[in-house]
Structure 1
Amino acid sequence: TGLTPWLAWVRGQAPPRRDFNPCGAYRFVRHPVYLSFMGLVWFTPTMTLDQAVLTGVWTVYLFVGSWLKDRRLEHFIGEPYREYERRVPGYPLMLVGPLATKRT
Protein backbone atom coordinates (compact mmCIF):
# COMPACT_ATOMS: atom_id res chain seq x y z
CA THR A 1 0.00 0.00 0.00
CA GLY A 2 1.03 3.60 -0.19
CA LEU A 3 3.89 4.64 -2.43
CA THR A 4 5.72 1.30 -2.46
CA PRO A 5 3.82 -0.18 -5.46
CA TRP A 6 4.16 3.06 -7.39
CA LEU A 7 7.90 3.28 -6.75
CA ALA A 8 8.32 -0.33 -7.86
CA TRP A 9 6.35 0.43 -11.03
CA VAL A 10 8.45 3.53 -11.79
CA ARG A 11 11.63 1.49 -11.30
CA GLY A 12 10.29 -1.31 -13.49
CA GLN A 13 10.38 -3.79 -10.61
CA ALA A 14 7.80 -6.19 -9.25
CA PRO A 15 6.13 -4.84 -6.11
CA PRO A 16 7.62 -6.39 -2.96
CA ARG A 17 5.66 -9.21 -1.33
CA ARG A 18 5.10 -9.14 2.40
CA ASP A 19 4.19 -12.08 4.58
CA PHE A 20 0.54 -12.29 5.55
CA ASN A 21 0.45 -11.88 9.33
CA PRO A 22 -2.91 -10.69 10.71
CA CYS A 23 -2.67 -8.92 14.06
CA GLY A 24 -4.90 -6.96 16.38
CA ALA A 25 -8.63 -7.34 15.77
CA TYR A 26 -7.88 -9.25 12.56
CA ARG A 27 -6.92 -12.26 14.70
CA PHE A 28 -10.58 -12.60 15.75
CA VAL A 29 -12.59 -11.38 12.76
CA ARG A 30 -11.65 -10.91 9.09
CA HIS A 31 -13.50 -7.60 8.63
CA PRO A 32 -13.26 -5.55 11.85
CA VAL A 33 -13.54 -2.18 10.09
CA TYR A 34 -16.75 -3.20 8.31
CA LEU A 35 -18.05 -4.63 11.58
CA SER A 36 -17.46 -1.35 13.42
CA PHE A 37 -19.21 0.60 10.66
CA MET A 38 -22.13 -1.81 10.87
CA GLY A 39 -22.28 -1.11 14.59
CA LEU A 40 -22.47 2.61 13.88
CA VAL A 41 -25.45 2.26 11.56
CA TRP A 42 -27.32 -0.37 13.58
CA PHE A 43 -26.89 0.90 17.14
CA THR A 44 -28.57 4.26 16.82
CA PRO A 45 -30.78 5.47 19.69
CA THR A 46 -33.81 6.06 17.48
CA MET A 47 -34.41 4.74 13.99
CA THR A 48 -36.89 6.19 11.55
CA LEU A 49 -38.19 4.27 8.54
CA ASP A 50 -35.76 5.95 6.15
CA GLN A 51 -32.85 5.19 8.50
CA ALA A 52 -33.98 1.55 8.72
CA VAL A 53 -34.06 1.25 4.94
CA LEU A 54 -30.64 2.86 4.60
CA THR A 55 -29.29 0.62 7.37
CA GLY A 56 -30.53 -2.43 5.48
CA VAL A 57 -28.93 -1.21 2.26
CA TRP A 58 -25.61 -0.50 4.03
CA THR A 59 -25.69 -3.94 5.65
CA VAL A 60 -26.16 -5.71 2.31
CA TYR A 61 -23.45 -3.50 0.80
CA LEU A 62 -21.01 -4.41 3.59
CA PHE A 63 -21.69 -8.15 3.33
CA VAL A 64 -21.25 -8.13 -0.45
CA GLY A 65 -18.12 -5.98 -0.12
CA SER A 66 -16.71 -8.34 2.50
CA TRP A 67 -17.29 -11.33 0.27
CA LEU A 68 -15.63 -9.57 -2.70
CA LYS A 69 -12.69 -8.51 -0.52
CA ASP A 70 -12.21 -12.13 0.58
CA ARG A 71 -12.13 -13.26 -3.06
CA ARG A 72 -9.62 -10.53 -3.97
CA LEU A 73 -7.34 -11.39 -1.05
CA GLU A 74 -7.54 -15.10 -1.91
CA HIS A 75 -6.35 -14.19 -5.40
CA PHE A 76 -3.46 -11.97 -4.30
CA ILE A 77 -2.31 -13.76 -1.13
CA GLY A 78 -3.28 -17.33 -1.97
CA GLU A 79 -3.01 -20.24 0.43
CA PRO A 80 -2.07 -18.23 3.55
CA TYR A 81 -5.33 -16.30 3.23
CA ARG A 82 -7.33 -19.48 2.63
CA GLU A 83 -5.87 -20.91 5.84
CA TYR A 84 -6.81 -17.66 7.61
CA GLU A 85 -10.38 -18.04 6.31
CA ARG A 86 -10.50 -21.56 7.76
CA ARG A 87 -9.50 -20.25 11.20
CA VAL A 88 -11.18 -16.83 11.46
CA PRO A 89 -14.81 -15.94 10.69
CA GLY A 90 -15.72 -12.95 8.55
CA TYR A 91 -18.01 -11.69 11.32
CA PRO A 92 -18.66 -12.92 14.86
CA LEU A 93 -21.29 -15.64 15.24
CA MET A 94 -21.38 -16.31 11.49
CA LEU A 95 -21.87 -20.06 11.43
CA VAL A 96 -22.95 -20.55 7.81
CA GLY A 97 -22.51 -18.76 4.52
CA PRO A 98 -19.61 -17.33 2.56
CA LEU A 99 -18.44 -15.14 5.46
CA ALA A 100 -18.39 -17.94 8.04
CA THR A 101 -15.25 -19.83 8.95
CA LYS A 102 -14.38 -21.90 5.89
CA ARG A 103 -14.64 -25.67 6.15
CA THR A 104 -12.28 -27.96 4.27
Structure 2
Amino acid sequence: MVSSTIILVFCLVAFAAIHSLTASLPFKRFIMRVVGSRAERYYMPVYSLIAFVTIAPLVYLLIKNPGPILYIVPSPWLWLMVGGQLIAVIVAPRTLLDAPHRFKLRSQLSAPKTPEAGPLNIRGIYRWVRDPFLLSGLVIMWLTPFMTVNLLVIYILSTIYLYLGSLHWETRLVSQFGDEYREYQKRVHRIIPHSGGYP
Protein backbone atom coordinates (compact mmCIF):
# COMPACT_ATOMS: atom_id res chain seq x y z
CA MET A 1 0.00 0.00 0.00
CA VAL A 2 2.71 2.46 1.08
CA SER A 3 4.95 1.48 -1.84
CA SER A 4 2.16 2.00 -4.40
CA THR A 5 1.49 5.48 -2.97
CA ILE A 6 5.20 6.37 -3.17
CA ILE A 7 5.34 5.22 -6.81
CA LEU A 8 2.25 7.29 -7.63
CA VAL A 9 3.73 10.37 -5.95
CA PHE A 10 6.98 9.85 -7.89
CA CYS A 11 5.01 9.66 -11.17
CA LEU A 12 3.15 12.86 -10.30
CA VAL A 13 6.38 14.68 -9.40
CA ALA A 14 7.97 13.51 -12.68
CA PHE A 15 4.94 14.74 -14.63
CA ALA A 16 4.98 18.08 -12.79
CA ALA A 17 8.70 18.57 -13.48
CA ILE A 18 8.36 17.85 -17.21
CA HIS A 19 5.15 19.89 -17.48
CA SER A 20 6.69 22.86 -15.66
CA LEU A 21 9.84 22.75 -17.78
CA THR A 22 7.97 22.68 -21.09
CA ALA A 23 5.66 25.48 -19.90
CA SER A 24 8.50 27.74 -18.75
CA LEU A 25 9.46 30.88 -20.66
CA PRO A 26 13.20 29.97 -20.88
CA PHE A 27 12.28 26.68 -22.54
CA LYS A 28 9.90 28.46 -24.93
CA ARG A 29 12.60 31.00 -25.83
CA PHE A 30 14.96 28.11 -26.55
CA ILE A 31 12.37 26.43 -28.78
CA MET A 32 11.75 29.70 -30.65
CA ARG A 33 15.49 30.10 -31.27
CA VAL A 34 15.93 26.52 -32.48
CA VAL A 35 12.72 25.97 -34.45
CA GLY A 36 11.89 29.54 -35.47
CA SER A 37 8.43 30.68 -36.55
CA ARG A 38 7.18 27.08 -36.96
CA ALA A 39 7.23 26.75 -33.15
CA GLU A 40 4.14 28.99 -32.96
CA ARG A 41 2.11 26.45 -34.91
CA TYR A 42 3.34 23.21 -33.41
CA TYR A 43 4.18 24.05 -29.80
CA MET A 44 0.69 23.64 -28.26
CA PRO A 45 -0.11 20.30 -29.99
CA VAL A 46 3.31 18.87 -29.05
CA TYR A 47 3.06 20.29 -25.53
CA SER A 48 -0.38 18.69 -25.10
CA LEU A 49 0.91 15.37 -26.43
CA ILE A 50 3.85 15.41 -23.99
CA ALA A 51 1.45 16.19 -21.13
CA PHE A 52 -0.79 13.26 -22.14
CA VAL A 53 2.10 10.80 -22.49
CA THR A 54 3.65 11.79 -19.15
CA ILE A 55 0.36 11.66 -17.21
CA ALA A 56 -0.70 8.30 -18.71
CA PRO A 57 1.51 6.14 -16.40
CA LEU A 58 0.06 7.89 -13.36
CA VAL A 59 -3.51 7.25 -14.52
CA TYR A 60 -2.69 3.61 -15.29
CA LEU A 61 -1.12 3.04 -11.88
CA LEU A 62 -4.05 4.72 -10.12
CA ILE A 63 -6.48 2.40 -11.90
CA LYS A 64 -4.31 -0.61 -11.07
CA ASN A 65 -3.59 0.41 -7.46
CA PRO A 66 -6.39 2.68 -6.20
CA GLY A 67 -5.80 1.76 -2.56
CA PRO A 68 -8.47 1.22 0.12
CA ILE A 69 -11.84 2.87 -0.52
CA LEU A 70 -12.59 5.83 1.75
CA TYR A 71 -16.13 6.49 0.52
CA ILE A 72 -18.59 6.02 -2.34
CA VAL A 73 -21.29 8.66 -2.82
CA PRO A 74 -24.77 7.12 -3.25
CA SER A 75 -27.47 8.18 -5.73
CA PRO A 76 -28.83 10.73 -6.43
CA TRP A 77 -25.83 12.74 -5.19
CA LEU A 78 -23.53 10.61 -7.33
CA TRP A 79 -25.27 11.82 -10.51
CA LEU A 80 -25.15 15.44 -9.38
CA MET A 81 -21.39 15.14 -8.91
CA VAL A 82 -20.91 13.43 -12.28
CA GLY A 83 -23.06 16.16 -13.85
CA GLY A 84 -20.80 18.81 -12.34
CA GLN A 85 -17.76 17.02 -13.75
CA LEU A 86 -19.34 16.87 -17.22
CA ILE A 87 -20.07 20.61 -17.11
CA ALA A 88 -16.42 21.26 -16.18
CA VAL A 89 -15.22 19.06 -19.07
CA ILE A 90 -17.47 20.96 -21.50
CA VAL A 91 -16.45 24.37 -20.15
CA ALA A 92 -12.67 23.64 -20.12
CA PRO A 93 -12.12 24.09 -23.90
CA ARG A 94 -13.62 27.60 -23.65
CA THR A 95 -10.41 28.66 -21.92
CA LEU A 96 -8.58 28.28 -25.23
CA LEU A 97 -11.37 29.53 -27.47
CA ASP A 98 -12.03 32.70 -25.45
CA ALA A 99 -8.39 33.79 -25.19
CA PRO A 100 -6.22 32.23 -27.91
CA HIS A 101 -3.82 35.18 -27.80
CA ARG A 102 -2.77 34.24 -24.27
CA PHE A 103 -1.25 31.00 -25.50
CA LYS A 104 0.80 32.25 -28.45
CA LEU A 105 4.55 31.97 -27.90
CA ARG A 106 5.44 35.41 -29.30
CA SER A 107 2.79 37.03 -27.11
CA GLN A 108 4.01 35.29 -23.97
CA LEU A 109 7.60 36.31 -24.63
CA SER A 110 6.83 39.97 -25.34
CA ALA A 111 6.62 43.08 -23.14
CA PRO A 112 3.39 44.95 -22.27
CA LYS A 113 1.91 47.39 -24.80
CA THR A 114 3.89 45.95 -27.71
CA PRO A 115 2.22 44.73 -30.92
CA GLU A 116 3.33 41.17 -30.16
CA ALA A 117 1.73 41.19 -26.69
CA GLY A 118 -1.65 42.13 -28.12
CA PRO A 119 -4.65 43.37 -26.14
CA LEU A 120 -5.91 41.68 -22.98
CA ASN A 121 -9.38 41.40 -24.57
CA ILE A 122 -11.41 39.95 -21.67
CA ARG A 123 -14.31 37.95 -23.09
CA GLY A 124 -16.30 34.76 -22.64
CA ILE A 125 -15.58 32.71 -19.54
CA TYR A 126 -12.76 35.07 -18.49
CA ARG A 127 -15.37 37.73 -17.68
CA TRP A 128 -16.44 35.60 -14.68
CA VAL A 129 -13.30 33.79 -13.54
CA ARG A 130 -9.59 34.53 -14.08
CA ASP A 131 -8.36 30.94 -14.23
CA PRO A 132 -11.01 28.62 -15.67
CA PHE A 133 -8.33 25.93 -16.16
CA LEU A 134 -7.80 25.81 -12.40
CA LEU A 135 -11.53 25.90 -11.66
CA SER A 136 -12.40 23.10 -14.09
CA GLY A 137 -9.50 20.96 -12.86
CA LEU A 138 -10.57 21.29 -9.23
CA VAL A 139 -14.21 20.54 -10.08
CA ILE A 140 -13.30 17.44 -12.10
CA MET A 141 -11.09 16.10 -9.31
CA TRP A 142 -13.07 16.88 -6.18
CA LEU A 143 -16.50 15.95 -7.57
CA THR A 144 -15.31 12.37 -8.13
CA PRO A 145 -18.14 10.37 -6.49
CA PHE A 146 -15.75 7.92 -4.82
CA MET A 147 -12.44 8.27 -3.02
CA THR A 148 -9.55 5.94 -2.28
CA VAL A 149 -6.39 6.54 -0.26
CA ASN A 150 -4.11 6.81 -3.30
CA LEU A 151 -6.59 8.99 -5.16
CA LEU A 152 -6.84 11.36 -2.20
CA VAL A 153 -3.05 11.72 -1.98
CA ILE A 154 -2.80 12.45 -5.72
CA TYR A 155 -5.72 14.90 -5.61
CA ILE A 156 -4.21 16.84 -2.70
CA LEU A 157 -0.79 17.10 -4.39
CA SER A 158 -2.40 17.93 -7.76
CA THR A 159 -4.45 20.70 -6.16
CA ILE A 160 -1.29 22.25 -4.69
CA TYR A 161 0.49 21.97 -8.05
CA LEU A 162 -2.42 23.47 -9.98
CA TYR A 163 -2.69 26.39 -7.57
CA LEU A 164 1.04 27.13 -7.67
CA GLY A 165 0.91 26.83 -11.46
CA SER A 166 -1.93 29.35 -11.52
CA LEU A 167 0.13 31.82 -9.46
CA HIS A 168 3.04 31.42 -11.89
CA TRP A 169 0.74 31.79 -14.91
CA GLU A 170 -0.64 35.04 -13.54
CA THR A 171 2.82 36.54 -12.99
CA ARG A 172 3.43 35.81 -16.67
CA LEU A 173 0.17 37.51 -17.64
CA VAL A 174 1.12 40.56 -15.57
CA SER A 175 4.43 40.65 -17.47
CA GLN A 176 2.55 40.35 -20.76
CA PHE A 177 -0.28 42.84 -20.11
CA GLY A 178 1.00 45.04 -17.27
CA ASP A 179 -1.37 47.34 -15.36
CA GLU A 180 -4.31 46.29 -17.51
CA TYR A 181 -4.10 42.78 -16.05
CA ARG A 182 -3.56 44.08 -12.51
CA GLU A 183 -6.82 46.00 -12.80
CA TYR A 184 -8.54 42.85 -14.06
CA GLN A 185 -7.22 40.94 -11.02
CA LYS A 186 -8.93 43.42 -8.73
CA ARG A 187 -12.32 42.88 -10.37
CA VAL A 188 -12.46 39.12 -11.07
CA HIS A 189 -11.61 36.25 -8.68
CA ARG A 190 -9.06 33.63 -9.64
CA ILE A 191 -11.27 30.58 -8.89
CA ILE A 192 -14.71 31.62 -7.66
CA PRO A 193 -16.90 32.79 -10.59
CA HIS A 194 -17.88 36.47 -10.41
CA SER A 195 -21.64 36.75 -10.79
CA GLY A 196 -21.69 40.25 -12.26
CA GLY A 197 -19.15 39.60 -14.96
CA TYR A 198 -16.30 41.79 -16.14
CA PRO A 199 -17.38 44.96 -18.00
TM over 0.5: yes
Shift of 1:89: 0.8
Report how many aligned residue pairs link the two structures.
86
Q: Which residue of 1 aligns with 2:150?
A: 50
- Segments of structure 1 that go 5 or more residues without pairing to the other structure are 7-13, 94-104
SS at 2:147 equivalent = coil
CA distance in 1, matches of 2:127, 2:187: 9
TM-score scaled by length of structure 2: 0.40
Seen in structure 2, the aligned counterparts of structure 1 residues 5 and 43 have a Cα distance that, compared at 3 Å, is: closer
Does the 8 Å CA contact 1:73/1:81 hold for their aligned counterparts? yes
| Map 1:1-104 → 2, pairs under 5 A | 2-3=40-41, 16-92=116-192
Q: Which has the larger radius of gyration?
A: 2
- Aligned residue for 1:10? none
Q: CA deviation at 1:25?
A: 1.1
The aligned residue for residue 102 of structure 1 is: none
| CA–CA distance in structure 1, aligned partners of residues 105 and 176 of structure 2 | 14
**Quick one: which amino acid aligns to residue 189 of structure 2?**
P
| Structure 1 residue 15: Cα displacement | 6.1
**1:84 is paired with a residue of what secondary structure?**
helix
CA–CA separation in structure 2 for the residues paired with 1:71 and 1:50: 32
Relative to structure 1, the CA distance from residue 5 to residue 35 in structure 2 (aligned partners, 3 Å threshold; closer, same or farther) is: closer
Change (3 A) 1:56 1:5: closer
Is 2:174–2:182's contact at 8 Å kept on the other side of the alignment? yes
In the aligned structure 1, how far is the partner of 2:105 from the partner of 2:125?
26
Q: Do the aligned residues in 2 keep the contact of 1:5 with 1:15 (CA within 8 Å)?
A: no
More helix per residue: 1 or 2?
2
CA contact (8 A) 1:28 1:88 kept: yes
Counterpart in the other structure of 2:77 = none
SS across alignment from 1:47: strand
Change (3 A) 1:72 1:57: same
